[in-house]
Structure 1
Amino acid sequence: MSLLVTETHYDTLAAHFRPVFARIAQGAVEREHVRTLPHQPITWLKEAGFGTVRVPKDKGGWGASLPQLFQLLIELAEADSNLPQALRAHFAFVEDRLNQPDSPERDGWFRRFIDGELVGSGWTEIGAVKLGDVITRVTPGEAGWTLNGEKFYSTGTLFADWIDVYARRNDNQGDVIALVNTHQPGVTREDDWDGFGQRLTGSGTTRFANAHVEQEHVYDFATRFRYQTAFYQHVLLATLAGIGRAVARDGAQSVAARKRVYSHGNAGAARQDAQLLQVIGEITSLAFAVEATVIRATHSLQSAYVAHVSSDEAQIVAANVLAEAEAGQAQVIASELVTRAATELFNALGASDTRVSKALDRHWRNARTVSSHNPVVYKARDIGDWKVNGTAPTSIWQIGAGEG
């Protein structure tokens, strides 16, 4: 059976990683200016064992609960919001392994994580792919599987040793997850993500040309952990909450350091101006509300994880529905309040703070980009349908060309 991971001591866990987060924060603005991918910060996190936060203690990891993992990701996102998203696929695959029965194969993955190996993402296809179709294909052979295709939004792949690829079997047309090693000629990764925000997440195009996949590294998609969609959303929620904290931090520091004042202001120093203090108080409260909402929602996600070992199917379904619904509700709140805070920030500052050198605009750009991943309007509709009609929120969905 699966070994449940419930919690560790959060203060000890966070104290271990906070010095790394501080180093990451020091270089965040410079990386944004010159568009330097965070290979070095990823290395620091690997060396500190960050990829093993959810791995059970008796397997060599930290044994953190899901609320603890996401609280830690919020702290990391405050330092640099690109990094939690870059590690999104890694933590999702760790979670999937935790939901599987104990086995030598699962222990092998835990050992790889302890050695610092990371997993990236290869799910979404763009271009002329029809809704519901999967162009990326795996073909079985005597020496393993052969993978061919192309993915975009390949978050984290530029830093990864493995890619979690959603593909279709050529033999029986079944949908599978193939874990492909990136250290081979058949895998090509490009840094061609050109979004206006979250520019350093290691996303972009990944191509597979007769890439080799080990026989035991192809998994039936139907066995994937059931709360995966809510889990993926929670990484984005933690990223938004961290951006909110960064907005409040930068706003407070900027007002405290500001020397220039307006003749029609309220004090001889910006730090004493009641209206500017009000703005900082408001954006700090918005950030607080988002973080509180996100952390509240992580507890239903933990309940879904605990429920997976139950023999009561009704209990499992109810836990997963609640986890999806609460993730959706948190998304509605976070998407609105963090972008509002990132805009309101400038009401406490001056024109000089819009200079590119300060990169304060990155907070809004990053928050807006994260909020665009899974359309919030559909989440709000799902929540309304759930509350009014008892309809379970959408948990598995695809994107592709429509009929028009």
Structure 2
Amino acid sequence: MTTLETLDVPDCVATAVRPRSAELRALLARLAQGEPDREHDARPPWEQFALIRQARLGALRLPAAWGGGGASIRELFETVLDLGAADPNIAQSLRNHFLIVEGRLRAAAGAEDPLLARVLGGALFGASSSEPGTPNIGQREQAHSTAVTPDADGFRLDGTKVYSTGNLYADFIVVSAGTADGATTQVVVPADRAGVIHEDDWDGIGQRLTGSGTTRFSGVRLAPEDFLSGQDAWSDKGSAYPATFPQLWLTTVIAGILRQVAQDAAALVRERVRTFYHAPAERPVDDPILQETVGYIASAAYAAEALVLDAADTLDASVSAILAGDGNPDLDAAAALKAAKAKVVIDELAQRAATALFDAGGATAARRGAHLDRHWRNIRTLASHNPRSYKAQRIGAHLISGTPLPNGAYF
């Protein structure tokens, strides 16, 4: 049986790619190549994920002494920004992997940990937690109909998970499941093990290549070593607000898209040769209205990046305290509040800027062949993960009355 210990991983470079390095910039450039056409043609980025494995990007947060990238939280989120600009589908697809890695780090797992050892070797991890029909999503304690049950000389896994973002590209999947005694366990199974069924049935208007469909487990055989060492994979150890990391990730991807929107807006105006007879300038590049439009979009992109990186700095301080064994609930709350405020502002700002892009380009920008509608669709889809109206209300209640912020999975 193929297990966590025996699955082969692709050949990788000797050391994981480092943050802010020339190698990382080269990787990002390769990931960006062909992104509009991939999105338009609905072609999953298989080759791009092979490059990610080869560069061991998944080990970016692991200590350099282990052979990892040695990135801080701030440097990780800088990379998420870059990924969002290069290919937001890839950026979102990697979120669960880095959430799992962060969880193992917070659980004080070392380089000898089987999961982290695989990450150091280039493997990528997905997650299966959400289930259809759950009435109150996001609670920290969730019952799972997906079940681990005794079977012959081992165990078996059966059930259905939804919104399986990234599983299509993963080497392993961390699955949350119920047990016969009513407890919750987590198992790690190779993504290609017999009985693991990936259904690429996500039909959203945006982020269409994230593999966010259904994952089914039908009689998947489990060995004792497939159970996750009695430790949760998720990054909630020591943190009062464990969802700040994954929520800020999504907002940062939006900020990355907005960076690309600004670049596309400037390019549209530079390349325009026609204008209206009643325009204020003969050449589009000299038109003050178009200049103002591009300036607004660029300013929105700058503001979005500043907001997410400021929140990342506070999250960095919070995580550093946790890893040092000196967790600070006040820092946790400050990071959660900044991430929530950033989302409330950036969701609206980004959608307005992605619409203003068409003011810069005119009818030419609306051609299907230009693929520029993907920016708005991707932003709108990412923003829909949890309503900004709920976040704004909770921020207001906190500031007015001191009401604690929610600490479940979607805040």
What TM-score do the two structures reach when normalised by structure 1? 0.89
Task: Tell me the amino acid that sits aligned with residue 161 of structure 2.
Answer: K
**1:262 counterpart (258, 276, 288):** 276
Q: Deviations over 1:302-352 (max 9, x none)?
A: 12211224555xx53222222221111111111111111101111111112
Is the contact made by 2:19 and 2:69 (CA closer than 8 Å) also made in structure 1? no
Q: 1-side partners of 2:362 and 2:408: how far apart?
A: 45
**Which residue number in structure 2 is paired with residue 360 of structure 1?**
372
1:391 corresponds to 2:403: yes
Aligned match of 1:122: 128
What residue number does 2:184 align with? 175
Question: Could you tell me how far apart the structure 1 residues matched to 2:152 and 2:333 are?
Answer: 41
Alignment check: 8 A CA contact 2:129 2:175 kept: yes
Aligned CA distance change for structure 1 residues 334 and 223 (closer, same or farther; 3 Å): closer
- Higher mean C-alpha displacement, 325-334 vs 354-363: 325-334
Residue 171 of structure 2 corresponds to 161
Does 2:234 match 1:234?
Answer: no
Count of aligned residue pairs for this structure pair: 385
Whole-Å separation in 2 of the counterparts to 1:352 and 1:151: 42
Aligned partner letter, 1:306:
S
Contact (CA 8 Å) 1:74, 1:238: kept in 2 or not? yes
**Residues in 1 aligned to 2:408 and 2:308: alpha-carbon distance in whole angstroms:** 21
SS at 2:245 equivalent = helix
**Bigger mean CA offset, 245-254 vs 20-29:** 20-29
Q: 1:146 aligns with which of 139, 156, 167?
A: 156
2:195 and 2:367 map into 1 onto residues whose CA distance is 43
2:311 corresponds, among 297, 300, 310, to 297
- Which of the numbers 103, 106, 115 marks the counterpart of 1:96? 103
After superposition, the Cα gap between the structure-2 partners of 1:34 and 1:104, relative to the gap in structure 1 and judged at 3 Å, is closer
1:4 alignment partner in structure 2: none
d(CA) in 2 for partners of 1:101 and 1:235? 22
Give the structure 2 partner of residue 3 of structure 1. Answer: none
Q: Deviations over 1:175-227 (max 9, x none)?
A: 23322221211210011100000001121010011223443433455984334
**1:343 matched residue in structure 2:** 355
Name the SS of the counterpart of 2:80 in structure 1: helix
Please state whether the residue corresponding to 2:175 is helix, strand or coil: strand
Query: Equivalent residue for 2:86?
Result: 79
Cα distance in 2 for residues equivalent to 1:186 and 1:265? 63
Paired residue for 2:25?
18
* CA-CA distance at 1:43 after TM superposition: 1.0
Q: In the aligned structure 1, how far is the partner of 2:91 from the partner of 2:165?
A: 10
Q: 1:145 to 1:28 in 2, by over 3 A?
A: same
- The answer to whether the Cα contact below 8 Å between 1:82 and 1:200 also exists between their aligned partners in 2 is yes
Distance 2:26 2:169 in 1: 21
Two-structure CA RMSD over aligned residues (Å): 2.2
C-alpha separation in 1, matches of 2:235 and 2:287: 58
Aligned identity (percent) is 39
Corresponding residue number in structure 1 for 2:66: 59
Give the 3 Å change call, closer, same or farther, for CA 306–369 of structure 1 in structure 2: same
1:137 corresponds, among 130, 134, 147, to: 147
The alpha-carbon distance between structure 1 residues 105 and 167, as it changes in their structure 2 partners (threshold 3 A), is farther
Q: Which runs of 5 or more structure 2 residues have no equivalent in the other structure?
A: 1-16, 137-141
Amino acid aligned to 2:164: S
Which residue of 2 is the match for residue 185 of structure 1?
194
Q: Which residue number in structure 2 is paired with residue 112 of structure 1?
A: 118
1:89/1:155 contact within 8 Å kept: yes
TM-score (norm 2): 0.88
Matched residue type, 2:196: V
Cα pair distance change 1:392/1:142, threshold 3 Å = farther
Contact residue 13 and residue 62 of structure 1 kept, 8 A: no
Does residue 381 of the first structure (1) align with residue 397 of the second (2)?
no
How far apart in 1 are the matches of 2:400 and 2:223?
47
1:124 and 1:11 mapped to 2: Cα distance?
32
Equivalent residues of 1:136, 1:150 under 8 A apart = yes
Cα gap change, 1:156 to 1:27, in 2 (>3 Å): same
- 1:196 and 2:199 equivalent? no
Amino acid at match of 1:148: D
Structure 1 window deviating more from structure 2 (249-258 vs 180-189): it is 180-189
Aligned partner of 1:359: which letter? H
